[in-house]
């Protein structure tokens, strides 16, 4: 059972990083070619596709980390790594809820003045790299923890 949770934590967070990286590089690269108006339309089109992928890998990651922390609670060295990995994913979720959620809503509602859309999009993409880094860090920390 422990191995299964460890695998979910490692692979879930690595897949999470991959999905986020694809969003940033593939879709983000495309968005950078668009005008403000076209970006807002495209954002709405693409955003509806994201929750399906994020939901699966996010749930796998959380289940894996929770199980690994629970089953590895008595292993102090490994537990520290598991907690740091969970902290990375928790920070990722907080950043998503507190900053990306409201900005995504502004993009979807097309409520930003057009002259602010491109700078906000660029800020979105820059901060998105932080989410990728947090997911990668969680995967690496999970791998390290599973080998302690």
Mean confidence (pLDDT) of the chain: 95
Give the pLDDT confidence score for residue 146 in this predicted structure: 94
Angle, vertex CA 44, rays to CA 28 and CA 62, nearest 5: 70
Give the pLDDT confidence score for residue 47 in this predicted structure: 84
- Is the pLDDT at 145 greater than 90, yes or no? yes
Give the pLDDT confidence score for residue 131 in this predicted structure: 97
Using CA atoms, how far residue 18 sits from 4, 13, 60, in Å, is: 20, 9, 14
Burial class (CB in 10 A: 0-12, 13-18, 19+), 112: middle
pLDDT tens sequence across 9-22: 999 999 999 999 99
pTM over 0.85: yes
% of the chain with per-residue pLDDT over 70:
100
- Is the pLDDT at 35 greater than 90, yes or no? yes
φ and ψ at residue 112, rounded to 5 degrees: -85, 145
Whose CA is closest to 11, among 140, 130, 133, 131?
Answer: 140
Give the pLDDT confidence score for residue 103 in this predicted structure: 97
Give the pLDDT confidence score for residue 73 in this predicted structure: 87
What DSSP designation does 147 have? Answer: T
pLDDT tens sequence across 62-110: 999 999 999 988 898 899 999 999 999 999 999 999 999 999 999 999 9
Residue 40 near residue 113 (C-beta atoms within 8 A): no
Please tell me whether residue 146 adopts helix, strand or coil conformation: helix
Give the pLDDT confidence score for residue 62 in this predicted structure: 97
Average pLDDT (110-117) is 96
Per-residue three-class SS string for 119-137: HHHHHHHHHHHHHHHHHHH
Give the pLDDT confidence score for residue 49 in this predicted structure: 83
Whose tokens are 């970006």? That residue is 39
Token pair for 71: 């089953």
- Is the pLDDT at 135 greater than 90, yes or no? yes
């Amino acid at each position: 059972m422990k191995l299964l949770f460890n695998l979910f934590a490692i692979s879930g967070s690595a897949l999470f990083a991959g999905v986020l990286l694809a969003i940033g590089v593939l879709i983000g690269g495309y968005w950078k070619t668009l005008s403000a108006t076209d970006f807002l339309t495209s954002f709405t089109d693409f955003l509806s596709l994201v929750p399906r992928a994020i939901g699966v890998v996010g749930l796998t990651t959380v289940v894996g980390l929770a199980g690994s922390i629970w089953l590895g609670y008595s292993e102090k060295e490994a537990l520290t790594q598991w907690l740091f990995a969970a902290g990375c994913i928790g920070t990722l979720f907080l950043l998503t809820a507190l900053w990306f959620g409201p900005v995504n809503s502004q993009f979807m509602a097309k409520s930003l003045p057009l002259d602010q859309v491109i700078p906000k999009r660029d800020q979105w993409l820059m901060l998105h790299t932080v989410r990728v880094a947090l997911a990668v860090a969680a995967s690496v920390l999970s791998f390290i923890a599973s080998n302690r």
